[in-house]
Structure 1
Amino acid sequence: MIRYDALEALPVRTALPALREALDGHGTAVLVAPPGTGKTTLVPLVLAGLVGEGPARRVVVAEPRRIAARAAARRMAWLLGEPVGGSVGYTVRGERVVGRHARVEVVTTGVLLQRLQRDQELGGVDVVVLDECHERHLDADTVAAFLWDVREALRPELRLVAASATTDAQGWARLLGGAPVVAAEGVSHPVEVVWAPPARPVRPPHGMRVDPALLSHVASVVRRALAERAGDVLCFLPGVGEIARVAGRLGDLGDVEVLHVHGRAPADVQDAVLSAGARRRVVLATSVAESSLTVPGVRVVVDAGLAREPRVDHARGLSALTTVRASRAAGRQRAGRAGREAPGVVYRCWAEAEDARLPRFPAPEIQVADLTAFALQAACWGDPEASGLALLDPPPGGAMAAARGVLRAVGAVGTDGRATERGARLARVWLHPRLGRALLDAAPLAGAERAAEVVALLSEEAPREYGDELAAAMRAARRGGDAYAGRWRAEVGRLRAVVAESAPAPAAAPGPDEAAAGAGNAVGVVAALAFPERVAQRDGESYLMVSGTRAEVGEASPLRGAPWIAVAVADRPVGRGHARVRLAAEVDEDVVRLAAGAFRTEAQEVRWADGDVVARRVERFGAVESAVRPLPGAAPGLVRAALLDGLRREGFGLLRWSREADVLRQRLAFLRWRLGEPWPDVSDEALHARVEEWLEPELGRARRRGDLARIDAGEALARLLPWASGEAARLGELAPERFTVPSGSRIRIDYTNPERPVLAVKLQEMFGLAESPSLAGVPVVVHLLSPAGRPAAVTADLASFWRDGYRGVRAELRGRYPKHPWPEDPATAEPTRHTNARLRR
């Protein structure tokens, strides 16, 4: 018997005429209705003709979560006075309760996505309601895009409704071809806001980690709320682990019942949460309770201010959920739960000043999540680039490129990006393509049962207490009596059926290797096939993955010391440069070749390493060197390139540089600076650029560092002299190695600084020279030395020195060196290398 009194109390009924008009006239509509108005329960019944006047239609309602789908179906059946499975049924993964005459079917968006891939026309369905579309889950966005394609190309009569409590109504209206926006007024009770930040600062969330100090504070706020307010308390936390830890801190509440609500909770627990209780209750919930569910009796909300969103690090090949600050929109949704039935209060566990700095809305999954499954769905739909799909936000190019790379690696798409037969099969197994590949390819190698067990374990994060070794974690799940083990066993059964339906299993890419399967650990085969780029080899105290990521295992891990492992789950702790292995399996090299064969390369490698030429033949799996052998008789071109690399890295000091060779390079540098062409540039950069001109054929004959050390650099450098123009003959004239001073001595010129050639000579040997010498028009800097060879004066203008500076030097040095001549007029004196006594003889 229909419960008309309950139906009449639902505020959304006032918007129904406008909604009918929009669908009859335009075929699409955006329904904006606050929580508790009946948009999820009354609207589908009306559109199906089960309540009120209207034609009989078949309506599909798509919910983002299984718990919400079951709850909505049960609520609608209750309003009709029927059991679930009559006029109203539901289908979620692994469970279907739908009668032959059902007019309303509630499904998850994932179920609807699968259904669309099998039957693009969605035959027999008249109306689709996309509920809670503001949450922007990737499956929901994809379903909306596919449905619009169906309506545009195949079934213009299909009616579409995008429904939400709070959403970008105009954006969805544009997406649905200018759909009318219909708004319903809700009955909202006032909700008081109490700011309850921790007394001391807490560490911000990082990855999956939440500061235990914050969880202790949340538990204390729940206790405070129980003491200060009446009614049940709904506490929002980011995940199952945090719910368990806060529940542990509330274990002594006496007559107060503590319940958990999240997507993994057993059905009987979910039913208990959604029914009024005899005792006062504290409901610890994830974001599933923000808008999809109505929890009766709640007058108080405690909001930890955190949410869990998917993120992916394409560079490191690690992806997982991460904990973030909840958006202001989520905060409003959560607070509204306290005012659904009566005035209420929300305790926010952060400071009021922080509120304005929170993001306005949660990030759409399509912008931050791993897009591999989305890319496969788009490829199966016939739009590999997803460029023609009606999406509120386009997928990021980098994320799509990474996703397509994974799909090619598992053989799901061809070179044109379109789905292969194998890809279509993977899309139907209701798993991430990685796990689908592992299930189908490992079944004939490891056995269908073992493949299903491991893939089920990888499909949902296992409890930490199961450990980091995959085989041990699987044994723990087998004997476990907890909720996770129950879900795991159910998933194993589903996956066994998938394998049976898919038999014979398709060939792996590369093809299965029975020897590898027999030699390797069966658990490791599955993990390696799922994550081939995370196969890792021990390298000292850590492991190097095929992807190039370095990872560490725990000190007490049974994996420690294994030569090869396949990493299924890893994270990156705060302040650590390496990833940390959370779940992995030991494998042998045969399994590596089977699973990571697409990454295998073999090449001759001749390079400069450790100060010499190293020639070897290297087999690699991505970044991992699996086998290295010496390479005798390496190709001369490769050896030459390695030697050149050594010269670039260590410099031309690897050659034999005599004093004459050093001086030649300095003289040439001086002429290049002073005269330019045709004198060569002899800087390191220029010499590398012209190495063929001056270092051949010696370089061509060299094979190792010792051969370089035997090359006469001066002899090679002389090849760069401008012989063709004849200028080379003027080298001695323009930049002589030595200069003949007035005493007759031939003194070496120092060209170390090409802009200031230096002549260092004893002062007495320069007597009689009125002007400073010059080279190529550049005055030489003369360092005048004492008889003992110590600096006495420096000048580039000898005439000026004789006139003004000599007297001071003479006065200082004549007493110290009385045996040497110190004439009053040095410009006219006789130059000499000798003492006075020698001169008198």
Structure 2
Amino acid sequence: MPADVRAEALDRLPVREAVPELLRALDDRGVAVLCAPPGTGKTTLVPLVLAGLVGGGPVRRVLVAEPRRIAARAAARRMAWLLGERPGGRVGFTVRGERQAGPGTVVEVVTTGVLLQRLQRDQELAGVDVVVLDECHERHLDADTAAAFLLDVRAALRPDLRLIAASATTDAAGWARLLGGGEDGGDGGPAGQVGTGGNGGADGGTDGGADGGEGPGEPAPVVSAPGVSHPVEVVWAPPERPARPPHGMRVDPALLDHVSAVVRRALREREGDVLCFLPGVGEIARVAGKLGGLADVEVLQVHGRAPAAVQEAVLAGADGGRRRVVLATSVAESSLTVPGVRIVVDCGLAREPRMDHARGLSALTTVRASRAAARQRAGRAGREAPGVVYRCWPEAEDARLPRFPSPEIAGADLTAFALQTACWGDPDASGLALLDPPPAGAMAAARETLTAIGAVDAAGRATERGTRMARLGLHPRLARALIDGAKEVGARRAAEVVALLSEEPPREYGDDLAAAWRTARHGGDPYAARWRQEARRLEHALTAAGTSGTDGGRGGAGPGRGDDAVAGLMAALAFPERVARRRGERAYLMAAGTGAELGDGSRLGGAPWLAVAVADRPVASASARVRLAAVTDEDTARSAAAALASEGEEVRWADGDVLARRVARLGSIELVSRPLADPDPELVRQALLGGLRREGTGLLRWSAQAAAVRQRMGFLHRELGGAWPDVSDEALLDRADDWLGTELARARGRADLGRVDAGQALARLMPWATGEAARFEELAPERIEVPSGSRVRVDYGADRPVLAAKLQELFGWQEAPRIAGGRVPLLIHLLSPAGRPAAVTADLASFWKDGYRSVRAELRGRYPKHPWPEDPTTAEPTRRTNTRR
């Protein structure tokens, strides 16, 4: 293409108007925040100007950091095209496993992961003059970490290093304070961290200026570029029936049906290509299937795993006049320009990483996209001409969306981050300038993992082994597997399995890791090609680090191990807490304590042991679903998960009695146990208490008399309180030492508890010291003498004490007795001659006056031998029947 066309393309980029101000800001402060909407040229023109390749300025070496590989390649290709070149000349790129750059490269685009690797190897970034952190609004953990490291470098080693945080939609004030050195405020986080009131809020501060000075500095200059002025119409297109909210990775199929229908509607109503945003690869595939059969429409899929040829075809634009529907993840929000797009269909969902530290499971979860993301997506329709966005949610819900995406540091697995900071010399990250501090619990879990694999020492400092791990460009778990596994099976086989684990194989490869390995080895699909490239990179990295393993294993069968054994060993080394033993037809228990279930039709079900590589836990499910695992054996599991092994005495309440044994475990998996003849008495006592808490005080021997005493004490506690104790199960167990201390000290099991006289033990809780215990019978009498002379037992089992006596025995009684020092009148149950309740009253005088007449009329004919006087108040009480007929 002629050079003048490229110059014309450069002249059309709106960011040109902001370049002079940006250059002045960098000359004055060395740092700046660049806010430029999509399509303005911030990713392409600005680096070229900074490098002196456009505009005639001094030549500088510029490093542009992108969060994704696809964006890094695309940015480099676009800048090279603007210069009339191909990538690898003055403009190049480096991503994991691929590099197109040379000695003459002035502008190099790298992923943030590659930038972190370079900073760890060369903290000064020798030869680099400017670093541009692009798309910083996405709050990827690597990008946040790189920014913190670069600010450290500027403060301590390279005050001349220029730094730009560039984004289309971001919290500009927050980044300005971070880059400028900050001011006191925010949450008052640790020194060197910016406290924020939300997702990258601007109300924080940091200690230590990033420009090498002392104390807080002024915020970095914020330079804004005008956006492309093409208007974008918003069409609200919610489903007729509300879709079910996403759960974990699950998206309501009805929503995907609706999105497909909206795409078809958009094609009918508007001109131009369609860019449809979906949360993940699975949803893209399902919607693509629903769009099959569209006449003269090409359906393309863009995501991180898409083949490079497809990515290039999407970015190159339409060919041959056919309309295109591009189904994309959030990768297309801001990092890429898709030519020809006039229509955006936004499903309103996104994926964010979440770490379940309690179960050791890390996974993506589906969430509502933020308002910032929705603006970014909509802007794609107006890059080249007026456009339209169809939003698949109600307009009324829009204001309730989160303002910005959640920062990855808030919910992700921080193991790799913790190793990076340890290698940087700041194990707890307290001295790093971060928009959001790492959660303490997540950092503690990460430190525990790193300690277990030998990457850090007891103080959290990186070991030599940890430094080697960090330089492999892998998650520390996978680095551990690669290094240790290579010694057992050779570098090549170890690298091949780790390459499978670093990018999960397609679902059609199945859940058997060894089988997936064989499929990839012989496959011709894009995944297999990427896998082979990554395996070669890892083998080379091992060799370069001098940890390539046994020569006998390189490229051969290894020392007597088949594919299944190798796959099982490598997965167990990477995820030792996920080694799992079979406990049902398709059910397993992982060492971490979480249950795991195989899917229907899995060929792994008969294996006694598995090494689980990929699993997720559905919402509200107690067990994880196994996505990828390998068959292994107990010896391999024990060896790989040696840090989880334990052996000790276990005394607990189980199956209704004290269980005392010596147990060898692998995490939560019980391996071997044998009975303990003489367990620790204190452990036995705690186990007995556990049994009482679980099954209640009914384990003790409660005679009728003891139960009655407890009820009477409970009554006095309710009515009088004070010295009279609570005798509920919970309260009794809280004071077990006060009333069961002697019995518990002697007991060894359930049978011993059953011989404990609860009544005798309970007497110890009586308020003897105050003298109140001596009034027990007076305050809560066991029996009350009635007018007939009978001594009738009082029932304290109900809310109110009850005296139940035959009606004839109470003749002449005008008032019910009162107990608890006269506070509580007894409730009188007047019984028929047969002992059945005839009336209930607390006011005898009223009963004799008003109620007795009807009771007498009803019962006199049924019980003629019993006295039924006209005036019960003056009649003689009796326990006997009449002697006359």
Q: TM class, shorter-chain normalised?
A: 0.7 to 0.9
For 2:517, the equivalent position in structure 1 comes to 474
For 1:632, the equivalent position in structure 2 comes to 677
Maintained 8 Å contact 1:303/1:348:
yes
Of 681, 696, 700, 2:745 maps to: 700
Q: CA deviation at 1:464?
A: 1.0
Distance 1:312 1:185 in 2: 39
Distance 2:86 2:775 in 1: 109
Equivalenced residue count is: 832
Maintained 8 Å contact 1:774/1:780:
yes
Maintained 8 Å contact 2:490/2:548:
no
For 1:604, the equivalent position in structure 2 comes to 649
For 1:185, the equivalent position in structure 2 comes to 226
Matches within 5 A, 1:317-716: 317-504=360-547, 521-541=565-585, 542-573=587-618, 576-665=621-710, 683-684=728-729, 687-688=732-733, 691-692=736-737, 694-695=739-740, 697-716=742-761
Matches within 5 A, 1:111-260: 111-177=114-180, 178-198=219-239, 201-253=242-294, 256-260=297-301
AA partner of residue 74 (structure 2): A
Distance 1:94 1:423 in 2: 21
Secondary structure of 2:379's aligned partner: helix
For 1:14, the equivalent position in structure 2 comes to 17
Distance 2:227 2:843 in 1: 99
Secondary structure of 2:132's aligned partner: strand
Q: Is 1:101 aligned to 2:104, yes or no?
A: yes
**Structure 1 range deviating more: 109-118 or 408-417:** 408-417
Distance 1:678 1:598, change over 3 A: same
Distance 2:828 2:47 in 1: 102
Q: CA deviation at 1:427?
A: 1.3
Distance 1:101 1:631, change over 3 A: same
Q: Is 1:274 aligned to 2:315, yes or no?
A: yes
Of 284, 288, 292, 2:327 maps to: 284
Q: CA deviation at 1:671?
A: 6.8
Secondary structure of 2:316's aligned partner: coil
Q: CA deviation at 1:119?
A: 0.8
AA partner of residue 402 (structure 2): P
For 1:511, the equivalent position in structure 2 comes to none
Distance 2:812 2:258 in 1: 96
Distance 2:728 2:247 in 1: 51
Deviation string, structure 1 residues 576-615 (Cα, Å, up to 9, x no partner): 4432211112222222222323223333222333332222
Q: CA deviation at 1:24?
A: 1.4
Q: Which runs of 5+ in 2 are unaligned?
A: 181-218, 551-557
Distance 2:813 2:342 in 1: 108
Q: CA deviation at 1:684?
A: 4.3
**Structure 1 range deviating more: 806-815 or 636-645:** 806-815
**Identity level (%):** 73
AA partner of residue 420 (structure 2): Q
Maintained 8 Å contact 1:445/1:517:
no
Q: CA deviation at 1:747?
A: 5.4
Q: CA deviation at 1:488?
A: 0.8
Secondary structure of 1:274's aligned partner: helix
For 2:202, the equivalent position in structure 1 comes to none
Secondary structure of 1:147's aligned partner: helix
Secondary structure of 1:46's aligned partner: helix
Say what the alpha-carbon RMSD is for the aligned residues.
4.0
Normalising to structure 2: TM-score of the pair?
0.83
AA partner of residue 19 (structure 2): L
Q: CA deviation at 1:154?
A: 1.0
Distance 2:482 2:805 in 1: 84
Q: CA deviation at 1:125?
A: 1.0
AA partner of residue 411 (structure 2): V
Q: CA deviation at 1:829?
A: 8.1
Q: CA deviation at 1:494?
A: 1.0
Deviation string, structure 1 residues 482-536 (Cα, Å, up to 9, x no partner): 11111111111111122223334799xxxxxx99999992211211222222222
Q: CA deviation at 1:218?
A: 4.2
Distance 1:22 1:627, change over 3 A: same
AA partner of residue 568 (structure 2): G
Q: CA deviation at 1:557?
A: 0.7
Deviation string, structure 1 residues 34-84 (Cα, Å, up to 9, x no partner): 333332222222222223332222111212222222222233233333343
Distance 2:755 2:141 in 1: 66
Distance 1:776 1:354 in 2: 62
For 1:510, the equivalent position in structure 2 comes to none
Q: CA deviation at 1:712?
A: 3.5
Maintained 8 Å contact 1:173/1:179:
yes
Distance 1:449 1:667, change over 3 A: same
Q: CA deviation at 1:453?
A: 1.8
Distance 1:548 1:204 in 2: 29
Distance 1:771 1:571, change over 3 A: closer
- Larger radius of gyration, structure 1 or 2? 1
For 2:187, the equivalent position in structure 1 comes to none
Distance 1:10 1:561, change over 3 A: same
**Structure 1 range deviating more: 598-607 or 454-463:** 598-607
Maintained 8 Å contact 1:149/1:389:
yes
For 2:188, the equivalent position in structure 1 comes to none
Distance 1:7 1:372 in 2: 43
Secondary structure of 1:498's aligned partner: helix
Q: CA deviation at 1:463?
A: 1.1
Secondary structure of 1:176's aligned partner: helix
Maintained 8 Å contact 1:120/1:150:
yes
